[in-house]
């Protein structure tokens, strides 16, 4: 896996949702830039070049983190908080992709500094549409901080 050149970090525990996400990003040819981890612990290890990722260059930061909220071990909100409170990492755009539409979750994540909150549609066609547009926006249209 080309961990170095990964521009999108996908943090998703459900493999089917992960596959659908990749399919969606493939529409705009962004799938090759994705690195997928299954939980929060791995996500942080990846970012901070810890554990099995100790060979990674910590200065190469992903252009986008797609973050699911419901994760085993450390949940999405904790990961969000950790990243956004770290001076070196807080500039990475994070988009929460979640099944939850709970207002409390939305407000809390914005207060923690999330860049966008998207609710995963239950209809797969809509899901594909939303994620592909999302990817296009953040990787092509949006200007990254670095």
Partner 1 sequence: MKKQSNIAPDNIVELRGKAIAKFKKYNDEMVLPKTKEELLRFVQELEIHQIELEIINEELQESRAEVENILEQYTDLYDFAPVGYFTISHDGKILKANLGASSMLGIERSKLLNRRLEQFLSWDSITAFNELLQRAIREKIKVSCEVCYIKVLNNTITSTMSKESSNLNMPCAHIEMLSSENAQEIRIAMIDITERKRNEVELNKYKDHLEEMIEERTLQLTEKDEILECELCEHKKTEAALLISNKELESFSYSVSHDLRAPIRAIDGFTRKLFEGYNSILDDEGKRLLDVVLKNTKNMGMLIDDLLNLSRLGRKKMEPSEINMEELVNEVIIELNDFEEDKKPEITVQHLPAVNGDRALIRHVIFNLLLNSIKFTAHREKPIIEIGYLTKDHQNIYYIKDNGVGFNMKYAHKLFEVFQRLHSLKDFEGTGVGLAIVQRIIHRHGGTVWAEAEVGKGATFYFSLHNNGEIYEDSSI
Q: Which residues bind partner 1 (CB under 8 A)?
A: 14, 16-17, 19-20, 23, 99-101, 103, 120-125, 127-128
In the bound state with partner 1, the residue whose beta carbon lies nearer, of 23 and 91, is 23
Compute the least distance from the CB of residue 17 to partner 1, in Å. 6
Note whether 119 and 96 are within 8 A (CB): no
In the bound state with partner 1, the residue whose beta carbon lies nearer, of 17 and 86, is 17
In the bound state with partner 1, the residue whose beta carbon lies nearer, of 26 and 63, is 26
Compute the least distance from the CB of residue 103 to partner 1, in Å. 8
User: Side-chain half-sphere of 48: how many Cα atoms within 13 Å?
Assistant: 15
36 to 1, 19, 103, 145: CA distances (angstroms)? 10, 10, 27, 22
Compute the least distance from the CB of residue 61 to partner 1, in Å. 29
Give the containing element (helix H, strand E) for 95.
Answer: strand 94-98
């Amino acid at each position: 896996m080309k961990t170095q050149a990964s521009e999108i970090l996908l943090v998703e525990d459900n493999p089917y949702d992960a596959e659908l996400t990749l399919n969606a990003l493939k529409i705009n040819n962004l799938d090759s830039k994705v690195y997928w981890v299954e939980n929060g612990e791995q996500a942080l290890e990846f970012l901070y070049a810890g554990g099995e990722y100790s060979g990674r260059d910590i200065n190469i930061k992903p252009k986008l983190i797609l973050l699911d909220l419901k994760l085993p071990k450390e949940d999405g909100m904790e990961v969000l908080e950790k990243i956004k409170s770290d001076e070196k990492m807080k500039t990475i755009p994070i988009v929460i992709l979640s099944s939850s539409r709970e207002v409390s979750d939305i407000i809390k994540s914005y207060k923690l500094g999330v860049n966008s909150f998207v609710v995963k549609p239950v209809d797969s066609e809509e899901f594909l549409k939303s994620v592909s547009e999302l990817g296009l926006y953040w990787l092509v249209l949006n200007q990254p901080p670095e």
